[in-house]
């Protein structure tokens, strides 16, 4: 089982797309094992996007993701990273296929609605930024 971090960005929250995005992810068989809404502070955003710290868009990215609330989730499935990335679509919504989240709703490369971990390795470190082990629930426990 793989786990991946996903967050619904401020532009999607402002446009009321959170439910649609979550629904699309769940319809692909992904299980939500952790979820919360928060307003990311600058320090957390900088840690999350540290791989981009030397790129010209870094400050704009940090400013954008801290501009409003986000919904942060841990999703689980056999191929979670791959399934999420396919469901999101290309980073640039202009290049994303119709039927993907970004292809159907994305604005531009800076306002592309959703973040998903790009590898299993990165998913582990990204999840640890937002969730403790106690906050992640096993969805396969019978009720």
Query: Which CATH number covers residue 31?
Result: 3.30.70.141
Tokens of 41: 């502070």
**CA 25-29-31 angle, 5° bins:** 75
Domain containing 47: what range?
A: 2-133
Rounded to the nearest integer, the mean pLDDT of the chain is 93
Q: Is residue 93 part of a domain?
A: yes
pLDDT (tens digit per residue) in 7-21: 999 999 999 999 999
Binned at pLDDT 50, 70 and 90, residue 141 comes out as low
User: For residues 126 and 5, is the Cβ–Cβ distance under 8 A?
Assistant: yes
Q: What is the pTM of this model?
A: 0.90
Distance CA 10, CA 66 (A): 8
Residue 115 falls in the annotated catalytic set: yes
Q: Is residue 95 part of a domain?
A: yes
Q: Which of 48, 52, 111, 115 is catalytic?
A: 115
Give the pLDDT score at 72. 98
Domains identified in the chain, total number: 1
Q: Is residue 74 part of a domain?
A: yes
Q: Is residue 142 part of a domain?
A: no
**CA gyration radius, the chain:** 14
pLDDT (tens digit per residue) in 29-65: 999 999 999 999 999 999 999 988 999 989 999 999 9
Binned at pLDDT 50, 70 and 90, residue 138 comes out as confident
Q: Is residue 143 part of a domain?
A: no
Q: Is residue 139 part of a domain?
A: no
**Residue of 135, 129, 131 lying closest to 48 (CA atoms):** 129
């Amino acid at each position: 089982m793989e786990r991946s971090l996903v967050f619904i960005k401020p532009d999607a929250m402002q446009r009321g797309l959170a439910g649609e995005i979550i629904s699309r992810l769940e319809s692909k068989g992904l299980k939500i094992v952790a979820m919360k809404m928060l307003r990311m502070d600058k320090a957390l955003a900088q840690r999350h996007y540290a791989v981009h710290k030397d790129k010209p868009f870094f400050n704009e990215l940090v400013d954008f993701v801290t501009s409003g609330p986000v919904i942060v989730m841990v999703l689980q499935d056999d191929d979670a990273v791959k399934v999420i990335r396919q469901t999101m679509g290309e980073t640039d919504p202009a290049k994303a296929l119709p039927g993907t989240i970004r292809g159907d709703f994305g604005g531009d490369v800076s306002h592309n609605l959703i973040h998903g971990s790009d590898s299993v390795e990165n998913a582990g470190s990204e999840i640890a930024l937002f969730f403790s082990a106690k906050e992640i629930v096993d969805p396969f426990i019978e009720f």
